[in-house]
Amino acid sequence: MQKTWFITGASSGLGREMSEQLLARGDRVAATLRQPSALDDLQQRYPQTLWTAQLDVTDHAQIREVSARAFAQLGRIDVVVSNAGYAVFGAAEELSDEQIEQQLATNLSGSIQVIRAVLPHLRAQGGGRILQVSSEGGQISYPNFSLYHASKWGIEGFVEAVAQEVAPFGIEFTVIEPGPTRTRFGENLVVPTNMAIYDATPAGDVRRAIASGEFAIRGDAAKTVAAMIRCADADRAPKRLVLGSGSYERIRAALSARLIELEAQKAITCSVDALE
């Protein structure tokens, strides 16, 4: 059965790859991006099933207008993929106020507003699915990515709460958590002016690992997107979908360490309860 998908950040990376795979299998795609001309080649190949619109997710009014127009013109939208995002790559002290504001406006506030905009339409049609693209960085952290992690940990908490609010309306969420994937993500990193004082710190280690190619990027974009599509097609959607063997290893280690630390605190944790 043909499905209709609404995708943000469709110009490149996972968004572009997902659009291509879905169109190739015969689905309809509402692809939103800042420069719609980036999909001119796909528009020529799939004129009947590709719908495009200009969308900057930092423009909240535009989010509401574009999402409403997509539902009005396409009818039912089965899956919404909130994918737009990027990363600022620098130690927290190095970041400018503008870089902080733009990162959170795109990855966190932008994702929140996309979800808020589509909920009334999904509710009116009796349900649907939302895939929120996060990363392994929504559960673990690397030095030099502090602000990126703030945005991803933030959107994951938002989705966990909203998923409970809208479950009675037949709306399901899955947070997608890929590890480092072979896309143009690295080329789009925003890099502030580095401070020499951080050269001999873990932040400097990460910079050198990425610059040298030592930082392993195992994820295959086509396989990652195919797994996301299978997830959306499944009868029941998982709350989180971790993608990549490295992500599995790192997230498992982080969760295990967190649980060990929690158990070690049990006595003091429980000691602060008020006495009846």
Active site residue 152: yes
Over residues 229-249, mean pLDDT: 93
CATH code: domain of residue 233:
3.40.50.720
| Cα separation, 21 vs 4, whole angstroms | 13
Active site residue 247: no
Which band of pLDDT confidence, cut at 50, 70 and 90, is reported for residue 231?
very high
On whether residue 254 sits in a domain, the answer given is no
Active site residue 148: yes
Q: Is the pLDDT of residue 229 over 70?
A: yes
Q: Is the pLDDT of residue 134 over 80?
A: yes
Quickly count: other Cβ atoms within 10 Å of residue 3's Cβ.
18
Over residues 156-168, mean pLDDT: 98
Instruction: Out of 134, 135, 151, 247, pick the active-site residue.
Output: 134
On whether residue 88 sits in a domain, the answer given is yes
Instruction: Out of 19, 152, 198, 247, pick the active-site residue.
Output: 152
Instruction: Out of 142, 148, 151, 198, pick the active-site residue.
Output: 148
On whether residue 235 sits in a domain, the answer given is yes
Count of domains in the chain? 1
Q: What percent of the chain has pLDDT over 70?
A: 97
pLDDT number for residue 187 = 67
On whether residue 275 sits in a domain, the answer given is no
List of residues 6+ apart from 187 with CB closer than 8 A: none
On whether residue 268 sits in a domain, the answer given is no
On whether residue 236 sits in a domain, the answer given is yes
On whether residue 85 sits in a domain, the answer given is yes
pLDDT tens digits for range 90-106: 999 999 999 999 999 99
Over residues 130-152, mean pLDDT: 95
Alpha carbon distances (Å) from 42 to 4, 8, 56, 75: 16, 16, 20, 21
On whether residue 256 sits in a domain, the answer given is no
Q: Is the pLDDT of residue 50 over 90?
A: yes
Range of the domain at 208: 4-246
Strand order in the sheet with 50-54: 50-54, 28-33, 4-7, 79-82, 128-133, 171-178, 240-243
pLDDT number for residue 181 = 64
Over residues 266-274, mean pLDDT: 94
pTM attached to this predicted model: 0.92
Range from 23-27, 214-218, 238-242 carrying the lowest mean pLDDT? 214-218
Over residues 41-52, mean pLDDT: 95
pLDDT number for residue 18 = 95
